[in-house]
Structure 1
């Protein structure tokens, strides 16, 4: 028998090739004399497998491992977890996985786990307004849940780098994929962005912190064998230590309060519930002011569509607040067109102060329905900070809590306070409401500003 062995090791440490070339003579078998030729026979194995005698896990196991990592990161970084540093594991695993299928499973499982409440939210929201019965609403929610994961995972799949050490595209691919899933048009559903790691690593550093957070995601995607990787990580860690040393949690302005309510869904179909809701809100605001507060914040859409009758009911309270220097920030809808009905999801400032902020991105499908008979319309991204009792306030309305891009101004102009208004009558007991709170808390932390948040259950 004559056999020649040749071992070819690839520079990226991936599967090596073992070639056997030779001639094997079969002798000594009674009644048989033969010749078996082996020409360029190829076996695949890793160097580790050659030493241990074990082969790589199967493709199925590898794909399941990727899905497990994505799910674990979602549950660690977001509710019930609160360790956003875990988001660095996503680009690290993404760049090292062997296939695009595994990369898809990594990111799809992350978005599926993080947005797991979408089916139930659809069932409650559309069922609550009698637009759909529960089974169709739940089915719609399942479809949307799967579709959002596919849409948000695809940029990562298409931009997955090769595993070769010679492939130098890891950094730009990570940057492009992160931006695609964070800013519009895909960023319209850009929840759970990996960029939230920036607020954990570089609190209070605003746009510099955001840039360094992006650099950390890129560093996680870089092969550890690159000489510059260790240098990059050393610099990023040192800067993170500096950011934490400088950062101090700011307290909300004295005399400011955000009031949570438990008024449920607002029925605006007749005069009686309209009047009763506004009467209850007036009583809540009066109690808050009576406690010595000068600025009171109520939840998003809590007063419903602002009508002439609504303005009449509030006239006396507005005059009283103006006279004694009290300001109310309240969530309402303001009609901008009647046929078809178009309105803004807004926060208005009444009393001693005056102003209005429109939601830059109402909830897709639930409120924002382009072409529908009734739809909220997005506000301008150029809206300045309103000044409330001498303080510049960055206002986030409900769905915006989950996104980065509506808050671009907080990265370049530090607000004195971040105000979040939400109306979660349909998700108060779900993980989504906690994840939403984590999202806006991340924005406020990176901006270095205190957060005041009013919600309705």
Structure 2
């Protein structure tokens, strides 16, 4: 029972939305490894995952304007992959084999198909423990996770705690490059759904204010522009005429099969869809079963497409909303050596939860791990 309670604390504290708290997730491998049976290992895994993703029931209730029951069912269903993988790979035999099994579980939860719902991955904390170490920091974090499953876990705990304290004492929040600014909005669920001229003029005014303050690139949250159409493009290009500012904002591009969740780059000179989201939110956005049933609709998942985009002379790693909660989009982008990260989200449905704070903490951790500038823009 104590292992289950401690696993819940590790998940709850590590994924509280506070960047310095992320390394608390490193306690999970030890609790999993020293479970007395496969059943207890499953219970430990469930406690960690459910505590880490505790905002999901309320978020689902907000999104669908329903009671908590659908969210509770989805919360439990989402935990099954995590629990099954860790329970299946658990072994009571101590030694290196146990550590290898944990790393196998971590790898499975970091990559599709299990990685599609691989939330709360402990490796996200690598950027807090080993800022600016890059891939060496990720390797050091993986080695720490492995050691936590062996009898050397007290030594690993002491070493990791030392790095944690040093990082906390010297931590600096990643900042945007010169001339870049992200705009947070508090427009609730109307963002992206209110397609009136008044709303677009309101957003244009915010962009122009930032331009007047010296911004050259202004980033707006996911879904800020709603449906991206030729009419909307003409409006923004016309209104930006006479300025030197370029807009980067979320939008949706609809076709006869569904839609793409994108980042659009627009200025007086032209506009284009810069980035197509690789992993939209499962169920609420990405609905692959529609195609299997011969139906249309839902967001398209581009999976491993466009991990980086070239813009303003930089190699940008974009992360839209859900991509900040799972492992592989950030690592795939890092493989292509980006020069900065742009993280946007539309979190109106997360009211009453820490989900947006967790997204921001994850983005900061990845930016610090690879020593990259970071621009964020969220709507709540």
Q: Give the TM-score normalised by the residue count of structure 2.
A: 0.88
Please state how far the C-alpha of 1:156 moved relative to its aligned partner: 1.1
- SS of residue in 1 equivalent to 2:189: coil
Partner of 2:43: 105
Partner of 1:331: 250
* Alignment equivalent of 2:322, drawn from 388, 399, 416: 399
Whole-Å separation in 1 of the counterparts to 2:128 and 2:191: 40
Please state how far the C-alpha of 1:417 moved relative to its aligned partner: 2.1
Q: Is the 8 A contact 1:202 1:244 kept in 2?
A: no
Provide closer, same or farther for how the CA distance between residues 212 and 281 of structure 1 changes in structure 2, counting only shifts above 3 A: same
Alignment of 1:390 with 2:313, yes or no, is yes
* Alignment equivalent of 1:141, drawn from 62, 71, 74: 71
Whole-Å separation in 2 of the counterparts to 1:234 and 1:124: 42
Partner of 2:205: 283
- SS of residue in 2 equivalent to 1:169: helix
Higher relative contact order (CA 8 A, sep 6+): 2
Q: Deviations over 1:218-240 (max 9, x none)?
A: 01101239xxx96x889989999
Partner of 2:225: 303
Please state how far the C-alpha of 1:411 moved relative to its aligned partner: 3.0
Q: Is the 8 A contact 2:180 2:218 kept in 1?
A: yes
Please state how far the C-alpha of 1:199 moved relative to its aligned partner: 1.5
Provide closer, same or farther for how the CA distance between residues 382 and 107 of structure 1 changes in structure 2, counting only shifts above 3 A: same
- SS of residue in 1 equivalent to 2:196: helix
Whole-Å separation in 2 of the counterparts to 1:267 and 1:442: 27
Whole-Å separation in 2 of the counterparts to 1:247 and 1:438: 13
Provide closer, same or farther for how the CA distance between residues 234 and 282 of structure 1 changes in structure 2, counting only shifts above 3 A: closer
Equivalence map 1:12-27=2 (5 Å): none
Answer with 1 or 2: which has the greater Rg: 1
Q: Which has the higher strand share?
A: 1
Partner of 1:76: 13
Q: Which has the higher helix share?
A: 2
* Alignment equivalent of 1:264, drawn from 188, 199, 207: 188
Q: Deviations over 1:189-223 (max 9, x none)?
A: 11100112322222222222212211110011012
Please state how far the C-alpha of 1:414 moved relative to its aligned partner: 3.7
Q: Deviations over 1:342-372 (max 9, x none)?
A: 1110001111686511111000011111243
Q: Is the 8 A contact 2:237 2:266 kept in 1?
A: no
Q: Report the number of matched residues.
A: 372
Q: Deviations over 1:404-427 (max 9, x none)?
A: 101224433443321111101111
Unaligned runs of 5+ in 1: 1-63, 128-133
Equivalence map 1:23-62=2 (5 Å): none
Unaligned runs of 5+ in 2: 291-295
* Alignment equivalent of 2:105, drawn from 172, 177, 180: 177
Q: Is the 8 A contact 1:414 1:449 kept in 2?
A: no
Please state how far the C-alpha of 1:80 moved relative to its aligned partner: 5.8
Equivalence map 1:418-437=2 (5 Å): 418-437=341-360
Please state how far the C-alpha of 1:163 moved relative to its aligned partner: 4.4
Q: Give the TM-score normalised by the residue count of structure 1.
A: 0.74
